[in-house]
Structures are given as structure tokens and as C-alpha cells.
Amino acid sequence: MSIGSNFARLLKKQVSNINSQKKWTHSVAVIGAPFSKGQKKRGVEHGPTAIRNAGLLERLSKIGCSVYDVGDLKFAHVPNDALYNNVVKHPRTVGLACQVLADAVSRAIGAGHTCITLGGDHSLALGSITGHAQHCPDLCVIWVDAHADINTPLTSKSGSLHGQPVSFLLRELQDKMPIIPGFAWAKPCLSRSDIIYIGLRDLDPAEQFILKKYNISYYSMRHIDCMGIHKVMERTFDQLLGRRQRPIHLSFDIDAFDPTLAPSTGTPVLGGLTYREGVYITEEIHNTGMLSGMDLVEVNPLLGATSDEVKATANLAVDVIASCLGDTRDGAHMIIDDLPTPSTTYESDNEEQVRI
Ligand SMILES: [Mn+2]
């Protein structure tokens, strides 16, 4: 690392200390997005309720956030929502849901909140990132996921839009994007160097081609094995924040975790993040002081084999979000500026005098 970049890091650390102090009193908006039409399995629309029931709001209050709960958004099912190109499912319904979410996120960010979207499936990230970018055009994105979700409507084999949101967001891919019903409102707001993936381990051939051709940065599970999560995060911030401070959007798919930790999700893939790796990612993101919005998606309470599995997955989602907002493994959640001193009344007690 050069002296220049060491200096930049030092400066960044100072800025981040100031910012993380500010975050203690920062207000957080929580938006429930009970939406499942971006994929095929029933149940992911119950994700927001499962995460709330696992104590999210109480946990955030406990660590000093002032929480503004927007409640759950209402999504309409568009009638006669025919397949696009015989493959892509529910395009108008997904497009409309993302538009509704984009408006809600834009309002929350505009009102000065750090915005948390509870999914719902990952197609929603098109809405949350677009809404976020309306107020923060220099936004960058950290996408933590087993999958790259970057198929275009023309490369997708499953037709599920939760595997495609990133293709709508990237400017460089627009000449490969067909005009698809329901998405006329969506304008790409990211360039290829504005996004970094962490945790990938299941890429379709077209996705692998896109990542290579457009030189999109990613750290797969293999990279994490090779260099460790510490180095991965250092490189992530060097690329995204090395030259300037800018708002971060974290899009966190619970399937990034190993299925032993997060079994209640639609597309689990073996060999995922450990608990410690996942929480390290979010602690480091908090420490930048630049987190401005996030998604926590794909918790599906109908897919657990037992109620314990469902609870474990929802609890993990709460841990991830709390850690993004300042919960630490070091314990010090609230700022304490002094220790209690024994009172003078006590000092003057008889017992105390006898001891003297
Ligand atoms: Mn995903």
C-alpha cells in the first residue's frame, strides 16, 4: 500500500470516527416489502414479519438508533401479466412493486433516514437502489449474495426476476436490455465500478461472462478462502471509497450465509459465509460511517424444516442489520462518558466510619 493510500485511510478513519459518533443519534427508517413475485417459491413475502418478530425494532432502539417504522408496503398484482419472451415471469407486477419501493426509499432517504428495506425477494433491490440513487447519485453498492443476480431478461433460464435486478441497474448493460413491460420507469443508476460482490459461489454461464467482459469486481467464496475476509473488505473499500467518500448501499441476500446458518431461504448453496465472516462484513461497513441504505432479502419462513430453523434465519437477519447500524462484538453499544462514583452519603455511613 502506498504512503498516499495510507494517508487516505488514516483520514478516512478520522472521518469515520466522527460519522460513527453521528450515527448513534441517527434515525433509521424500516420499510417492509412483502413481495415474492420475483421468484417461484411461496413464503418470502412473510420475510418482513419474521424479521420484525425476531425483535429487529427493539434491537435497533437498544443500540441507540431512533427508529421510524414505515410499516409494510402494499403491492398490487397486475392482472393479465403475461410472460415476457415466453420466459420472464410477472414482469409488470415486479416492475410496479419496484417502482412503489423506489418511491418509499426515496422519501425515507430524502427525509434524512438511513433506510432499511426488509424483503421480500431480491428483485426489490432494483427499486431500493433506484430510490436511494435519486438522492445520492454517487452511490456505491456492496452486494452480498451467493448469486450475482445479473442475468438479463434475455439470458435468464429460470425467468425469475430476482436473478436479474443488477442488469437493470448497470449503465454498461443497457444495449443488451430489451424493453420489458413494467420497467419503463427504471433508469440505470450505476456504473460497473460502483458495485462489488461478496460471497458468490453459484454463477450462470451468462453471468460469469458479464462479470468478466465488463470487468465487474467480485470476491467469491474462493477469494474469501484465499485472502480472508479482512483483506476482502480492505480491497472493497479501497476500490469504492479510496478516492472519495460516498454513500454505500448494502444489498444483503441471506443466502450469502452457509445454509447451516440460514436454512430458510429459496436458493441455498453450500459453502457460504460463516457467522463471523458475515458479521465482519457488516461491522466494517458500519465503521466506514458511509452506510446510507440497505436491503435484507430472501428470508422465507415457509421453507424451514423446523421452527428452530426459521427462527435461526430470522435472528441472523436481525444480527446482520444491527451490526450494520453499530452493534458490536466488543460490547460498547451506548456511549458512556464516566463511571459511577460512590456517593458521599454512603461514605458518611456509620459502617464506613468504622472501617476508617
Ligand atoms: Mn440475491
Ligand 1: centre distance to CA 75 (Å) = 20
CA distances from residue 26 to 15, 32, 135, 320, 345 in whole angstroms, order as listed:
16, 20, 17, 18, 39
Q: CA 27: distance to chain centroid? A: 17
- Residues, beta carbon < 5 Å, ion ligand 1: 122, 145, 149, 253
Phi, psi of 292 (to 5 degrees): -120, -25
Ligand 1: centre distance to CA 135 (Å) = 24
Ligand 1: centre distance to CA 317 (Å) = 14
Tens digits of residue pLDDT in 152-205: 999 999 999 999 999 999 999 999 999 999 999 999 999 999 999 999 999 999
pLDDT at 6 over 70: no
Q: Which CATH number belongs to the domain containing residue 303 in this structure?
A: 3.40.800.10
Ligand 1: centre distance to CA 200 (Å) = 10
Ligand 1: centre distance to CA 159 (Å) = 14
Write down the pLDDT at residue 243: 80
Q: Is 49 helix (H, G, I), strand (E, B) or coil?
A: helix
Q: Is 33 helix (H, G, I), strand (E, B) or coil?
A: strand
20 lies in some domain: no
The answer to whether 147 is annotated as binding is yes
Write down the pLDDT at residue 347: 53
Query: Would you please indicate which residues are annotated as catalytic (active-site) residues?
Result: 122, 145, 147, 149, 162, 253, 255, 298
Q: How many domains does the chain fold into?
A: 1
Q: CA 93: distance to chain centroid? A: 23
The answer to whether 122 is annotated as binding is yes
29 lies in some domain: yes
Q: How many CB atoms lie within 10 A of CB 6?
A: 10
Could you give the CA distance from residue 209 to residue 215 in angstroms, rounded to a whole number? 10
Cβ contacts of 307 within 8 Å, gap of 6 or more:
none
**Omega within 30 of 0 (cis) for the link into 120:** yes
Grid cell 413475502 is found at: 45
Tens digits of residue pLDDT in 244-264: 899 999 999 999 999 999 999
Write down the pLDDT at residue 2: 45
221 lies in some domain: yes
pLDDT at 5 over 80: no
68 lies in some domain: yes
Q: Is 186 helix (H, G, I), strand (E, B) or coil?
A: coil
Domain of residue 234 covers 3-14+25-355
Among 118, 44, 146, 127, CA closest to 318:
118
Residue 11: pLDDT band (50, 70, 90) is: very low
Residue 26: pLDDT band (50, 70, 90) is: confident
305 lies in some domain: yes
Write down the pLDDT at residue 170: 98
Write down the pLDDT at residue 337: 82
Write down the pLDDT at residue 294: 98
131 lies in some domain: yes
Cα-Cα-Cα-Cα torsion 324, 274, 48, 44, nearest 10 degrees, comes to: 140
Ligand 1: centre distance to CA 166 (Å) = 10
Q: How many CB atoms lie within 10 A of CB 4?
A: 9
Tens digits of residue pLDDT in 78-111: 999 999 999 999 999 999 999 999 999 999 999 9
Sheet holding 27-33, edge to edge: 66-72, 27-33, 114-119, 291-297, 248-253, 140-144, 195-200, 217-220
Q: How many CB atoms lie within 10 A of CB 9?
A: 17
Alpha helices by DSSP H, listed for the chain, are 3-24, 47-53, 56-62, 91-110, 125-135, 165-169, 205-213, 221-241, 275-288, 307-324, 344-347, 350-355
Write down the pLDDT at residue 349: 54
19 lies in some domain: no
Ligand 1: centre distance to CA 149 (Å) = 6
287 lies in some domain: yes
Tens digits of residue pLDDT in 39-58: 999 999 999 999 999 999 99
CA distances from residue 200 to 38, 39, 117, 145, 295 in whole angstroms, order as listed:
20, 19, 22, 6, 17
Residue 334: pLDDT band (50, 70, 90) is: low
CA angle 249, 215, 270 (to 5 degrees): 65
Could you give the CA distance from residue 229 to residue 31 in angstroms, rounded to a whole number? 29
Ligand 1: centre distance to CA 132 (Å) = 18
The answer to whether 255 is annotated as binding is yes
